[in-house]
Amino acid sequence: MGNDKIKTQPLAFNSQAKDEMLESASNFYNMVRSRRTVREFSDKPVPKEIIENCLRAAGTAPSGANHQPWHFAVISDPELKYKIREGAEEEEREFYESRAPQEWLNALAPLGTDANKPFLEIAPYLIVIFGEKFSFDIEGNKQKNYYVSESVGIATGILITALHNAGLATLTHTPAPMKFLNELVGRPATEKPYMILVTGYPAENAEVPAITRKSLGEIASFKGDD
Ligand code: IYR
């Protein structure tokens, strides 16, 4: 089958019988449907191995030309978390006080968010996710990356799902602009901050906004006879 010039290997495919497939699909949906974005975190420590394995899972995401254009900076140092909170709150104050149009503020009102971001210090881990506009091959040559935001978005989705599956809560946090994170975290200018994934256990008695999710009929359409 494959092209003579490229090395291939047999696909290790997990074949399942139809009943097993139905059960797998249903079990997975039941696992992910309980995920909620959390804004109240506990400071209870999380074993680092859990984070490491969830990051390994994120690193399996498909990516443009398989360049894997992502970097995950895992921050647990309290002083650095404090500095990230300071930087983020500065951006957020400007956002909430002047930059955000009224329509955006209205859309956020049901979430009850504001410029105060205590969770950036309370949660045990801040995973700062970067997209690499360029990477370096094994000989150190600079190579352009493709579909960076799509690739990093998929990896982030897998990471969020893996962390939820492992019993952790997350918050996708996007202070804008996020350039201050390069300097704080020590990442090169070829990397663009994508988001901060705040990670930990939820606070005891944490509350979340009452929301509903769109039904299958609202999010999908089917064309075909089956
Ligand atoms: N980055 C801001 C604002 C914000 C924007 C959206 I869209 C949200 O879904 C939630 C928040 C903040 O973190 O408060």
Domain boundaries, the chain: 37-137+144-203
Q: Residues 6 or more apart from 142 whose CB is under 8 A from it?
A: 134, 135, 136
35-83 confidence digits (pLDDT tens): 999 999 999 999 999 999 999 999 999 999 999 999 999 999 999 999 9
Of the candidates 138, 201, 167, 159, the one whose C-alpha atom is nearest the C-alpha of residue 71 is: 159
Q: Please report the pLDDT score of residue 4 as a whole number.
A: 65
Distance 115 CA to ligand 1 centre (A): 9
Residue nearest to atom 9 of ligand 1 (CA): 108
Contact between residue 176 and residue 95 where contact means Cβ atoms under 8 Å apart: yes
Backbone φ and ψ for 139, nearest 5 degrees, come out as -90, 5
98-132 confidence digits (pLDDT tens): 999 999 999 999 999 999 999 999 999 999 999 99
Q: Give the architecture-level CATH label for domain 37-137+144-203.
A: 3-Layer(aba) Sandwich (3.40)
Distance 75 CA to ligand 1 centre (A): 21
Q: Please report the pLDDT score of residue 1 as a whole number.
A: 52
Query: Residues enclosing ligand 1, CB less than 6 A?
Result: 92, 95, 108, 111, 113, 173-175
More confident residue, 215 or 3: 215
Beta strands 125-132 and 70-75, pairing class: antiparallel
Residue nearest to atom 2 of ligand 1 (CA): 175
* Amino acid identity for residue 48 in this structure: K
pLDDT over 70, % of the chain: 98
132-179 confidence digits (pLDDT tens): 999 888 899 999 999 999 999 999 999 999 999 999 999 999 999 999
Whole-prediction pTM: 0.95
For residue 6, pLDDT beyond 90: no
